[in-house]
Amino acid sequence: MRAVRMTSPGVLEQVEVPTPTPAAGEVLLAVGAVGACHSDLHILDAPPGLFPTPITLGHETAGTVEAVGAGVTGWTPGDRAAVYGIVGCGTCRGCLRGAENQCRRMPPGGIGLSRDGGLADYVAVPARNLLHVGDLDLTQAAPLTDAGLTPYHAVELARPALRPGTFCVVIGIGGLGHMAVQILTATTAVRIIAVDTSVAALDLATRMGAHHVVQAGPEAVERIREIVGPAPDGADVVIDCVGVDATLTTARTVVATGGKLLLVGLGGGTLPVHPVADAPPTLPLETSVEIPFWGTRAELQEVIALGRAGLISADVQTFPLERAPEAYDLLRRGDIHGRAVVTP
Ligand code: NAD
Ligand code: ZN
Ligand code: ZN
Mean pLDDT, residues 182-194: 98
Q: 149-290, which class in CATH? A: alpha beta
Assign domain 2-132+314-343 to its CATH architecture.
Alpha-Beta Complex (3.90)
For residue 338, give the ligand 1 atom closest to its CA. 3
Mean pLDDT, residues 279-306: 94
Name the residue ranges covered by the structural domains of the chain: 2-132+314-343, 149-290
- Per-residue pLDDT at 319 exceeds 80: yes
pLDDT of residue 278: 74
- Per-residue pLDDT at 232 exceeds 90: no
- Per-residue pLDDT at 276 exceeds 80: no
- Per-residue pLDDT at 51 exceeds 70: yes
> Which residues, 6 or more positions from 158, have their beta carbon under 8 angstroms from its beta carbon?
168, 237, 239, 260, 262, 290
- Per-residue pLDDT at 248 exceeds 80: yes
Q: How far is the CA of 40 from the centre of ligand 1 (A)?
A: 11
Region of poorest pLDDT, from 140-144, 273-277, 299-303, 317-321 = 273-277
- Per-residue pLDDT at 106 exceeds 90: no
Look over the chain and give the mean of its residue pLDDT values, rounded to a whole number: 96
- Best substitution site from 196, 206, 254 to test ligand 1's pocket, by max atoms within 8 Å of Cβ? 196
In this prediction, residue 65 has a pLDDT band, given cuts at 50, 70 and 90, of very high
**Whose alpha carbon is nearest atom 13 of ligand 1?**
172
For residue 244, give the ligand 1 atom closest to its CA. 18
pLDDT of residue 238: 98
Percent of the chain's residues with pLDDT above 70: 99
- Best substitution site from 34, 39, 204 to test ligand 1's pocket, by max atoms within 8 Å of Cβ? 39
Same fold, 2-132+314-343 and 149-290: no
- ipTM of predicted complex: 0.99
Residue pair 201/337 in contact (Cβ under 8 Å)? The answer is yes
pLDDT of residue 55: 98
- Per-residue pLDDT at 24 exceeds 70: yes
User: Taking the CB of residue 53, how many other CB atoms lie within 10 A of it?
Assistant: 13
- Per-residue pLDDT at 107 exceeds 70: no
